[in-house]
Chain A
Amino acid sequence: MTGRSDRAESIRHTMEEDGDAVHDHTATLNRNRYEAMASLDGGDALRRRAREIKEDAIADLPELIDRVEAAVEANGGRVYVADDAADANRYVQQVASARDAETAVKSKSMTTEELELNDALVDAGVDVYETDLGEFVIQVAEESPSHIVGPAMHRSREDIAELFNDYFDPEEPLETADELTRFARDYLGDKIRDADLGVTGANFVLADSGTVVLVTNEGNARKSAVTPDAHVAVAGVEKLLPSVEELQPFVELIARSATGQSIAQYVSMLSPPTDSPTLDFDDPNTPDFGGEGGDREFHLVLVDNGRFEMREDDQLRETLYCIRCGACSNSCANFQHVGGHAFGGETYSGGIASGWEAGVHGLESTEEFNDLCTGCTRCVDACPVEIDVPWINTVVRDRLNRGADPDAFDSLVTGLTPDDEPSGFALDKRVFGNFGTLAKWGSATAPVSNWVADAGPARALLERAVGIDRRRDLPQFARETFADWYADRGSRIDDPDAAVTLYPDVYTNYVRPDRGKAAVRVLEAAGVRVDVSPVSESGRAPLSQGMVSTAEDRAVETRAALEPALDAGCDVVVLEPSDLSIFRREYERLLPEGDAAALADAAYSLVEYLTACDTTPLAGDERVAYHAHCQGRTVGELDASEALLDCLGYDVVTSAEAVECCGMAGSFGYKEAYYELSVEVGETLADWAADHPDRTLVAGGASCLDQLDALVDRTPLHVAELLDPET
């Protein structure tokens, strides 16, 4: 593994090289996706259906393989199931040499990238031409894809013009996108007409009819599949669906998710060998039309390469449901700013790459990029097959941690890292993962702890030992915790309309007690009596570091701390969206079966709770610019906040269109390796805030508030502080 400062340097480099172009493209695709999904009736039901179809298909995979073999053979083609990359490549080489193929044209396929099929064909003496223009660009540039859907997304038009002018030396230099496209089309058109072999991937394969489904906008897959007499389709085994009946949700979802189109330009459903006439452009004056199309040859190569093992792996299995639409990349704030050259492994990129890379190339190929998933969960809403991409990243991180070497600094912080993780666990992860303990200590010894931590030498040590970037302001621990304040003060409501338990997360308790105090006053103004449960860390901090077993311990403790409230049938108000989100999403995985549901049902954000009770005394008329916390947004916080504030009389604009995540993401923005990326991502939020200079800035969570504090010269408020009757 590279060191932290090397990592920072490499991210900085990619950000400079690729960042602007990738950001322009991904942000646009992401906006388009929102619009396209919003205009689709029953979009979530369709995602559910797609998910179920994939679950069943993967469960039935061996049978589907038998069925597709029978169907393709009945049609007159051949199926080959390849164990691994070498096996698949060998088979395609054999097909090529049996036909004396000198050239092959290819349509875009990530699976053939995974296999490195092009190299294998070149080794067999076959010239290979990528016909998707994005793939063509990176083939000419000898680069790897920067995005699973838009492989050349990191290159601007100017870049591509320079590349083509250098490489092809055209008579007239190429300049506009139109000129570049025409040039590439003509160049590749010749190659397609001359090719001896057409190689495509497949977006889906229909077992019962032996149908290969290809989804493209350029038309290159159609031409590559149909023009040469021989067609080889290469697909991972996970692409199998039973029949055309199951295809519809995917056709309706894939383009919406990928580019925001309601349907892709070309959805080809080919059951080869097809009846289309063969086209011999070497013999251009002999008609081929009207015959039986009988000279066509078709091979379907189904690739295992680790997928059957993924199928047995309870945590990685859902990776196989992925339809590779790229929505998880486009909706990812970090990805938007670096692209797949930093946020990617050997083949795949973006959030889901951890699953694919771990499965097909091995855990080590996730090592350099897995930390770039901050667990913000914005991709969870985006994924058309409802894959919990952040969970896959967490699991992979946990596995990486467990394989790490013993760390020399371990003994220094034993007291601060009271977890059961193996001793080899990286120190920085353990410190961040045990934030609750650190905060308790910091608060108990404040303000001394704050002075010490802020002092130059201490910052240098923190940077060296734990990787906390010295440019980042540290959290200031409060001497009086929120829980102590409340214990002194007690409830001011004698005749309550309702009662709630307020969950004092560690950040509210030790670092930002003011928002806890504000929340108490707000709830009391609404006639609600507040109880405060014992302080506990929810497990969010260790989970974000991939410390799953520590997170399980914290979850059990927190569930126990809230047990009396749940037993009493009391609602639980949660101020920190990352905790609300772990209660609702991950506790199901962390707690013994059956323990998560009661808490998930009883837990509300402050806003959700107020929406359900009489809030008239809280009316306000301020102009507000509201940034929803990423994880909170995934569990509905944005809509709830917008609705409540609107109803109370506030004039609200939100950052929903412009920003997915603030870039701070818990510990991420503190880390030396990621500080600059975090700030770059945060600048997108800061730009949005600057577009609304006369509005009160309100943000959902601790991280967003810290990031805004650092990057904007207005003081942002938590929603409890906005509503606080005392301000």
Chain B
Amino acid sequence: MSATTRFEAALSAFDATLTRTRTADFSARLDEVVDPPAVGSPLPFEGVSLDGTDVVTEPTPAQLRDATTGVTAAAFAIAEYGTLAVRSTAGGDEPVSLYPERHVAVVRESDVLSDADAAFSRLADAFADGPESVVFATGVSGTGDMGEYVEGVHGPREVRVLLLEDR
């Protein structure tokens, strides 16, 4: 099974969907997975951008608070667990992926790593260049603290992945 197939299977375990797109069709596919109002942080991938979409980059705190969707890049993904690695960037990946109810993560297919071993070796490479800040986000926030399991606590209730097939 390819890493992407395994990634998709792992995502489906927590009702997250994976949408494949080529860079050329990015804006159209993005529209399908965004529930407005949406905020976003700049995407570092060649050929795709949030400019010219309805997604607000450099939002104000009020726009962040009121957004339904947050769009960010994921530095990489771990297929085995359905994990998205989101970096803390000046563009706000961390709060944008955290505050809105829906997180839309844009992932390059070449960044879908098979398992934790591959992910940690990637991480070690990144740390070798200097201290990193990154979160492994897997599924949606949840709690059992109110007597039963409930999804959607301080973090998102929904996760959507946009996979860049040609990157």
Q: What's the Cα separation between A21 and B145 when bound, in Å?
A: 11
Beyond contacts A244-B120, A288-B60: 15 other A-B pairs, Cβ-Cβ < 8 A, are A211-B131, A219-B154, A219-B155, A227-B95, A251-B120, A252-B116, A262-B80, A263-B81, A263-B83, A265-B142, A267-B135, A269-B132, A284-B61, A285-B61, A293-B90
A251 touches B61 (CB 8 A): no
Q: What's the Cα separation between A607 and B130 when bound, in Å?
A: 56
A218 touches B153 (CB 8 A): yes
Does B68 count as interface, using CB distance less than 8 angstroms? Answer: no
Does A158 count as interface, using CB distance less than 8 angstroms? Answer: yes
Does A539 count as interface, using CB distance less than 8 angstroms? Answer: no
B131 touches A289 (CB 8 A): no
Min CB distance A225 to B, Å, is: 9
Can you identify 27 A-B contacts, CB atoms within 8 angstroms? A157-B147, A177-B148, A177-B149, A180-B146, A185-B154, A209-B127, A209-B131, A209-B132, A210-B131, A211-B131, A218-B145, A219-B154, A244-B124, A248-B120, A263-B136, A266-B136, A269-B132, A269-B136, A274-B88, A276-B88, A277-B92, A285-B61, A286-B61, A287-B58, A288-B61, A289-B41, A289-B58
Which 7 pairs of residues, A with B, have the shortest CB-CB distance? Answer: A157-B147, A219-B155, A271-B131, A284-B62, A219-B154, A134-B145, A133-B145
Does A566 count as interface, using CB distance less than 8 angstroms? Answer: no
Please give, as numbers and ranges, the residues of chain A lying within 8 Å of B89 by CB-CB distance. 275-276
Interface magnitude class on chain A: 35 or more
Chain B residue nearest to A294 in the complex (CB): B90
Q: What's the Cα separation between A287 and B146 when bound, in Å?
A: 36
Q: What's the Cα separation between A243 and B91 when bound, in Å?
A: 27
Q: What's the Cα separation between A288 and B90 when bound, in Å?
A: 9
Q: Beta-carbon contacts of A64-91 to B below 8 Å, as 1s and 0s?
A: 0000000100010000000000000000
Interface set, chain A 252-290, CB cutoff 8 A to B: 252, 262-272, 274-277, 279-281, 283-290
Does A156 count as interface, using CB distance less than 8 angstroms? Answer: yes
Min CB distance B18 to A, Å, is: 18
Min CB distance A165 to B, Å, is: 13
B146 touches A160 (CB 8 A): yes
Interface set, chain A 413-430, CB cutoff 8 A to B: none
Q: Chain A interface (Cβ within 8 Å of chain B)?
A: 21, 25, 71, 75, 131-134, 136-137, 150, 152, 155-160, 177-178, 180-181, 184-185, 188-189, 192-193, 208-211, 217-220, 222-223, 226-227, 243-245, 247-248, 251-252, 262-272, 274-277, 279-281, 283-293
Please give, as numbers and ranges, the residues of chain A lying within 8 Å of B150 by CB-CB distance. 177-178, 181
Choose one: B81, B123, B131, B145; the contact of A152 (CB below 8 Å): B145
Choose one: B60, B124, B145; the contact of A286 (CB below 8 Å): B60
Q: What's the Cα separation between A158 and B148 when bound, in Å?
A: 11
Please give, as numbers and ranges, the residues of chain B lying within 8 Å of A251 by CB-CB distance. 116, 120, 136
Q: What's the Cα separation between A210 and B93 when bound, in Å?
A: 21
Q: What's the Cα separation between A176 and B61 when bound, in Å?
A: 31
Please give, as numbers and ranges, the residues of chain B lying within 8 Å of A159 by CB-CB distance. 147
A220-B154, A252-B116 are contacts. A271–B41 as well, Cβ < 8 Å? Answer: no
A157-B146, A177-B148 are contacts. A269–B134 as well, Cβ < 8 Å? Answer: yes
Min CB distance A329 to B, Å, is: 15
Please give, as numbers and ranges, the residues of chain B lying within 8 Å of A277 by CB-CB distance. 90-92, 95
Interface set, chain B 23-76, CB cutoff 8 A to A: 41, 57-62, 64-65
Q: Chain B interface (Cβ within 8 Å of chain A)?
A: 41, 57-62, 64-65, 80-81, 83, 88-95, 98-99, 116-117, 120, 123-124, 127, 130-150, 152-156
B131 touches A222 (CB 8 A): no
A274 touches B81 (CB 8 A): no
Please give, as numbers and ranges, the residues of chain A lying within 8 Å of B92 by CB-CB distance. 276-277, 289-290
B148 touches A157 (CB 8 A): yes
Q: What's the Cα separation between A422 and B141 when bound, in Å?
A: 55
B138 touches A265 (CB 8 A): yes
B136 touches A218 (CB 8 A): no
Chain A residue nearest to B125 in the complex (CB): A244
Choose one: A152, A243, A293; the contact of B127 (CB below 8 Å): A243
Min CB distance A557 to B, Å, is: 49
A275 touches B116 (CB 8 A): no
B81 touches A276 (CB 8 A): no
B143 touches A218 (CB 8 A): yes
A267 touches B136 (CB 8 A): yes
Q: What's the Cα separation between A274 and B120 when bound, in Å?
A: 20
Min CB distance B84 to A, Å, is: 10
A188 touches B154 (CB 8 A): yes
**Most A C-beta atoms less than 10 A away, residue of B134, B138, B147:** B147
Q: What's the Cα separation between A251 and B146 when bound, in Å?
A: 25
B147 touches A177 (CB 8 A): yes
A263-B136, A284-B65 are contacts. A156–B131 as well, Cβ < 8 Å? Answer: no
A137-B145, A265-B142, A276-B88 are contacts. A244–B123 as well, Cβ < 8 Å? Answer: yes
Please give, as numbers and ranges, the residues of chain A lying within 8 Å of B60 by CB-CB distance. 284-288
